[in-house]
Amino acid sequence: MSDSFLSLDEPPQPKAEAYRVLARKYRPQTFSELIGQDAMVTTLGNAIRRDRLAHAFLLTGVRGVGKTSTARLIAKALNCVGPDGHGGPTIDPCGVCEPCRAIAEGRHIDVIEMDAASHTGIDDIREIIEASRYSAVSARYKIYIIDEVHMLSKAAFNGLLKTLEEPPAHVKFLFATTEVNKVPVTVLSRCQRFDLRRIPAELLAAHFARVSEAEGVEAEPEALALIARAAEGSARDGLSILDQAIAHAGIEGEGVRAEAVRAMLGLSDRGAIRDLFGLLLAGDALGALASLRGQYDLGVDPQAVLRTLLETVHGVTLVKLGSVPTAGQSAEELGALERWASGLSFPALHRLWQLVLRGHDEVAKAALPIEACEMALLRVIHASQLPDPGELARQIASGAVAPAAPGAAQPAAPAMPGSMAELAAHLEANRRLQLAQQVRDYLRPVRFDGADVHFGAARSLPHDFLRDLAAALRDTTGVNWRLQLVESDAPTLREEQAANEAAERAAVLQSPLVAAALVSFPEAELIGWTTRRSMQA
């Protein structure tokens, strides 16, 4: 016999079971498995226990939050008869009785599902109205689940109104829609409405962790947090991304890694974005462009970079307001946000937001996206360092800013301060008296390297201090300064002066002449002194 034919003696090979995607495989079968909708479950449970069931329910919400799954769960809850066949409506359907199993498998004759997107006309609704007059064949209630109900035509809605208002006792309508604003008010008023909320990212990440464990796939928490954030509150979208991530991981068994998920989704590395954001705040144009090009070479979309920068500005603003940290934030990211929040004012943050948002919109429409992104970042650097209109008006009023006379010779470039004392003296010489006083009182010197200055703070600095100091130095020296606040225990100029005065006073008190005078006159007090050094000065 040819090898191309099977022997009659060989048993038939079992047919491989078709793969089911995670979004279908892990569709909730009980209300306890429905995540993020506790308020709706509580309300529905109370209605069932008190036998106060509405004749029509409208389920709204964004894609993938569980509208259709909830409708099927309600159908099971209303028609469940329990394992013994004598149960009544319950918020905890057994899942083993024939109605529960038939509804879960989509084959129950009395639970009719219809997609309004493909059945929009009055004729389709007429069939429902006619069939609703007849009692259920085997279930307690005949249930109609109409998905995307907003797609029904005006005539179809009008034809449904009378039946919705006075339906037969054995009929329940369950409507689902993502665009509730398109449903006529006359229909809304005849339904009990449940707004299904976006599922919080932390709940989604925990759900994905359980799914990964059930699938026998190792997944990094950061990877699941990235997927949860990308899902935007949709369990179905998140499970589809997780399905893709598992396939992306391959068959080597390395599991779902954050780096792979970030590459798969085209997300920019958040650490690289933090570095880029720091370069923008420091006014380092060349460094910012190099950082952007580095991410672009790795395949990151320029628009995704600006989108993540927007998220960063938003995150800094929330931290400045004292909000609770977002799920999935690392300690390093939170520390960076807190550091920026302490150094940026709300007006500066709002201006950064507008600049980056404008760049994001421009890149989306640009013929040269990476070049447009570079120009947007340069605009952020230069525009964000300009003083506020109010500050500019104060500088003009105080005479700190004045237009140059026509034909006047350009002044020579001023010397760059090379120490904290020179910095304070430079500010005083240029009539930045308040800044000079703050430098003397609060700043702890760490490093002076040209215009790159690192210093600590003896106390919490005003929110606008770094911006105002950088602007003042740029105006007086013509150079963009990079100011960075770091940890330091070095003394401030005021502390150093106080320590020197205390040491000098102690030396004066220990001198033989003063010591002898204090012995002769016990009630005498040292009020002041003059040393040879001070006289020579």
Secondary structure, 3-state, 261-292? HHHHHCCCCHHHHHHHHHHHHHCCHHHHHHHH
Q: Which amino acid is at 467?
A: R
Q: What is the pLDDT of residue 8?
A: 44
Q: What is the pLDDT of residue 54?
A: 87
Range 22-195: architecture per CATH: 3-Layer(aba) Sandwich (3.40)
Q: What is the mean pLDDT of residues 142-147?
A: 92
* Residue listed under structure tokens 């409506």: 89
CB-based contact 57:174 (threshold 8 Å): yes
Residues of the chain with CATH 1.20.272.10: 270-384
Residues of the chain with CATH 3.40.50.300: 22-195
Q: Which amino acid is at 148?
A: E
Q: Which amino acid is at 21?
A: V
Range 270-384: architecture per CATH: Up-down Bundle (1.20)
Spatial separation of the C-alpha atoms in residues 516 and 522, rounded to whole Å? 10
* Residues contacting residue 117 through CB under 8 Å, at least 6 positions apart: 147, 148, 151
366-425: per-residue pLDDT in tens?
899 999 999 999 998 887 556 555 555 555 555 555 554 444 444 445 567 888 888 888
pLDDT tops 70 at residue 285:
yes
Range 201-265: architecture per CATH: Orthogonal Bundle (1.10)
Task: Give residue 253's Cα distance to chain centre.
Answer: 31
Residue 258 — very low, low, confident or very high, per pLDDT cuts 50/70/90? confident
Q: What is the pLDDT of residue 534?
A: 47
Spatial separation of the C-alpha atoms in residues 391 and 401, rounded to whole Å? 11
pLDDT tops 70 at residue 166:
yes
Q: What is the pLDDT of residue 394?
A: 58
6-27: per-residue pLDDT in tens?
444 555 555 556 778 888 888 8
**When comparing pLDDT for 383 and 330, which is higher?**
383
* Residue listed under structure tokens 């009395």: 110
Least confident of 89-93, 484-488, 523-527: 523-527
Q: What is the mean pLDDT of residues 479-487?
A: 85
Eight-class DSSP state of 223 = H
Q: What is the mean pLDDT of residues 490-511?
A: 82
Considering only CA atoms, which of 182, 311, 178 is closest in space to residue 234? 178
Task: Indicate the burial class of 110 (C-beta count within 10 angstroms; 0-12, 13-18, 19 or more).
Answer: buried
Task: Indicate the burial class of 9 (C-beta count within 10 angstroms; 0-12, 13-18, 19 or more).
Answer: exposed
Q: What is the mean pLDDT of residues 130-147?
A: 90
* Residues contacting residue 517 through CB under 8 Å, at least 6 positions apart: 524
346-365: per-residue pLDDT in tens?
888 888 999 999 999 999 99
Spatial separation of the C-alpha atoms in residues 110 and 318, rounded to whole Å? 51
The token pair at 499 is 């320590």
The whole-chain average pLDDT of the chain stands at: 82
Least confident of 2-11, 288-297, 326-335, 528-537: 2-11
pLDDT tops 70 at residue 507:
yes
The token pair at 124 is 């389709």
